[in-house]
């Protein structure tokens, strides 16, 4: 019984077609079964402690007192991406020739190494460890949003080779880009439209409606909610939103780092244990730093486990086919959320 | 030297970042090296001759005189998709609840089996065989565009498991959908804008400018050109366009089926031999059947070899990073286009 569901933010349709579905256990990621155990440290990994000289000089680090930059002793470390998609040095002149236009890809492309442990991952980190990663996000977010000509700070994470992670050592990426991403422009336009016509934030409406119906909610804490969006583009797509209206990630208060870390860790742990450590991406969506979107935009994190292949239909339509309803995905993930706050003891 | 290139049709930016590049030989598809030889016929394949009863009853077939539907004797055969993403029977009532809206996914989802040979593929078919596939596309395009409430006919092909092909027997798909795809809406809007401001078709301008500069052209025939678009989203993205303005695929004249087949076969053969049979998708872009886009839209086929993984950056931006310039891709493919018209002798 295929149906078209409207994304209430962007106004895009998603095709939910469960005839094509597999059950959650059929999604189990194939590589997981190999039982390959990754070591805590790899001699050849440029992100492992002791190998600091293999990266460009560090931008920042959270490290033990008395240790020095580009040496061991850090627990989170930021470095430039060795193969940056954006650079501060202008590479081409902005120009137009007939119907073709080019401009330099000005900006920064950085890596945040999340742990000294080669085999760590958000799904196995303690809440305290993940809170330090979030502190690093905020740190770079604030610094880069001051840079001239930067219109957006994109913070994202690729987990697993099939989700684009070329190095397995746990890391996130931060890109400072000279334009507002089309994905964000589309959200801003939809959210602004909703605000113009109702006076309300569409994300606040979503949080309220989802908490009331409670069929797509995965977990809830005092400040945050994790849910499967009504028009989920992919199986087990999960959003983490602050329950209170907040346009920019910039405004996240330090007292909430650990609670956000807890929600994110619990979601990724449920995905990892329930679906056998699939590849995934997560992406921070936030208001552009130089724009006032106070009334209508609402920052959040979108998590996309990579369980299906986008193909001709998706490329040709610009529309996703989702083979799992968000209602069944939410039920499945709820059963895999740890009932007790868990996580290894942190060494922090 | 990363640079941002503007897609002259949609106005979307693409990031071309060749520092991150690999050379064409590094793209060589991993599975190709296994040298697995596929048989001409598979007992278990529902698309192989003799197994016609394993598909839903056929919609049409091109077959030898005296043979009967749903039996062997066909060379191209159309059947309903067994797991359709769209159906004629309404599955839900169109309704809205708070911020959430749903509507039935009304339409058709069909498969065109391109050859009786299990191991055929466009890259190994004769031009005559491929011309029959194109005749089948036109046949279904015309029939389905008459159906009520259908706004677009999407014709596409997935080759290889990593490009979404769940069965290896050569086949294309046709979807009749109740809305104009967002991808096409975006092209229509951009092309209309170009037409309003210049009085010309942006695709005609592109064909003219590319043929003049000749750095991104892969091959040219009397009626068609194959080129790497200036703002290619992916390495070796290739477009096939009629050189003369033509809004709808519907209007393709039977006398041109074979020449289009030749261009498509030569492009896919160059991709297949040069890049070691990578997975790919190709997608027909055409004016919506019920809309008049005569002055400004121009049908074409887009081919996307799947050589890189879209990840957090692409999802978060809604923008592609392309690690190969279209100029170098065009040069590479030109060297792999057969200089003599080739192809097996056709049995037609």
Q: Is the pLDDT of residue A153 over 70?
A: yes
Q: Is the pLDDT of residue B19 over 80?
A: no
pLDDT confidence tier of residue A290, bands split at 50, 70 and 90: confident
| pLDDT given at position A28 | 59
Give the lowest-confidence range in A64-78, A90-104, A334-348: A334-348
Q: Is the pLDDT of residue B26 over 70?
A: no
Q: Any idea what DSSP says for residue A335? A: T
| pLDDT given at position A341 | 55
Please give the angle made by the CA atoms of B23, B29 and B35, to the nearest 5 degrees.
130
Q: Is the pLDDT of residue B345 over 50?
A: no
Looking at per-residue pLDDT, the higher value among A300 and A28 belongs to A300
Asked if B311 and A98 come within 8 Å (Cβ–Cβ), the reply is: no
Mean pLDDT of A85-109: 93
Within-domain flag for B348 = no
Mean pLDDT of A310-328: 94
Distance from CA of A64 to the nearest CA of B (A): 31
Within-domain flag for A124 = yes
Q: Is the pLDDT of residue B28 over 70?
A: no
State pLDDT tens for residues B294-318.
889 999 999 999 999 999 999 999 9
Question: Which residues of A are less than 8 Å from B157 in CB distance?
Answer: 312
| pLDDT given at position A183 | 95
pLDDT confidence tier of residue B293, bands split at 50, 70 and 90: confident
Within-domain flag for A235 = yes
Looking at per-residue pLDDT, the higher value among B293 and B11 belongs to B11
pLDDT confidence tier of residue B21, bands split at 50, 70 and 90: low
Asked if B317 and A177 come within 8 Å (Cβ–Cβ), the reply is: yes
**Percent of chain A scoring above 70 in pLDDT:** 93
Within-domain flag for A341 = no
Distance from CA of B221 to the nearest CA of A (A): 23
Q: In what order do the strands lie in the sheet with B95-97?
A: A321-322, A13-16, A3-6, B100-104, B95-97
Asked if B156 and A181 come within 8 Å (Cβ–Cβ), the reply is: no
Within-domain flag for B341 = no
Domain count across chain B: 1
State pLDDT tens for residues A225-250.
999 999 999 999 999 999 999 999 99
CATH number at residue A115: 3.30.428.10
Asked if B319 and A181 come within 8 Å (Cβ–Cβ), the reply is: yes
pLDDT confidence tier of residue B290, bands split at 50, 70 and 90: confident
Closest CB to A2 among B4, B6, B86: B86
State pLDDT tens for residues B218-263.
999 999 999 999 999 999 999 999 999 999 999 899 999 999 999 9
Question: Which residues of B are less than 8 Å from A84 in CB distance?
Answer: 2, 17, 19
State pLDDT tens for residues B160-180.
999 999 899 999 999 999 999
Distance from CA of A336 to the nearest CA of B (A): 25
| pLDDT given at position B102 | 96
Q: Is the pLDDT of residue A27 over 90?
A: no
Within-domain flag for A95 = no
Q: Is the pLDDT of residue B33 over 70?
A: no
- Residue A187, token pair as written in the block: 């959200």
Q: Domain span at residue B50?
A: 3-87+103-334
Which residues of B are known to be catalytic? 171
Q: Is the pLDDT of residue A185 over 70?
A: yes
Question: Which residues of A are less than 8 Å from B164 in CB distance?
Answer: 309-313
Mean pLDDT rounded to a whole number for chain B: 92
Give the lowest-confidence range in A24-28, A142-146, B88-92, B271-275: A24-28
Q: Are B101 and B159 in contact (CB under 8 A)?
A: no
Within-domain flag for B230 = yes
| pLDDT given at position B35 | 53
| pLDDT given at position B341 | 55
Within-domain flag for A320 = yes
pLDDT confidence tier of residue A343, bands split at 50, 70 and 90: very low
């Amino acid at each position: 019984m295929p149906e078209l569901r409207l994304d209430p933010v962007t106004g895009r349709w998603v095709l939910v077609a469960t005839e094509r579905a597999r059950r959650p256990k059929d999604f189990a990621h194939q590589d997981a079964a190999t039982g390959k155990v990754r070591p805590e440290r790899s001699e050849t990994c440029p992100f492992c402690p002791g190998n600091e000289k293999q990266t460009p000089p560090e931008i920042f680090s959270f490290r033990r007192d008395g240790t020095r930059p580009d040496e061991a002793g850090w627990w989170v470390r930021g470095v430039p991406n060795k193969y940056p998609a954006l650079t501060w040095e202008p590479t081409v002149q902005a120009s137009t020739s007939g119907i073709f236009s080019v401009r330099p890809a000005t900006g920064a492309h950085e890596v945040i190494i999340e742990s000294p442990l080669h085999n760590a991952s958000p799904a196995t980190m303690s809440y305290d460890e993940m809170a330090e990663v979030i502190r690093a996000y905020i740190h770079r977010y604030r610094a880069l949003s001051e840079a001239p000509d930067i219109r957006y700070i994109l913070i994202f994470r690729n987990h697993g080779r099939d989700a684009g992670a070329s190095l397995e050592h746990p890391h996130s990426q931060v890109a400072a880009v000279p334009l507002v991403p089309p994905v964000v422009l589309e959200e801003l336009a939809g959210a602004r439209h909703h605000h113009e016509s109702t006076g309300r934030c569409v994300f606040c409406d979503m949080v309220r409606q989802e908490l009331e119906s409670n069929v797509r909610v995965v977990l809830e804490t005092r400040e945050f909610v994790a849910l499967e969006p009504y028009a989920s583009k992919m199986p087990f797509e999960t959003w983490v939103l602050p329950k209170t209206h907040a346009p920019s990630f910039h405004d996240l208060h330090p007292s909430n780092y650990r609670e956000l870390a807890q929600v994110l860790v619990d979601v990724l742990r449920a995905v990892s244990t329930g679906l056998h450590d699939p590849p995934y991406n997560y992406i921070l969506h936030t208001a552009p730093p130089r724009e006032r979107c106070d009334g209508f935009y609402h920052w959040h994190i979108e998590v996309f486990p990579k369980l299906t292949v986008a193909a001709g239909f998706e490329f040709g339509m610009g529309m996703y086919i989702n083979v799992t309803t968000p209602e069944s995905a939410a039920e499945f993930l709820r059963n895999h959320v740890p009932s007790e706050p868990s996580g290894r003891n942190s060494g922090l």
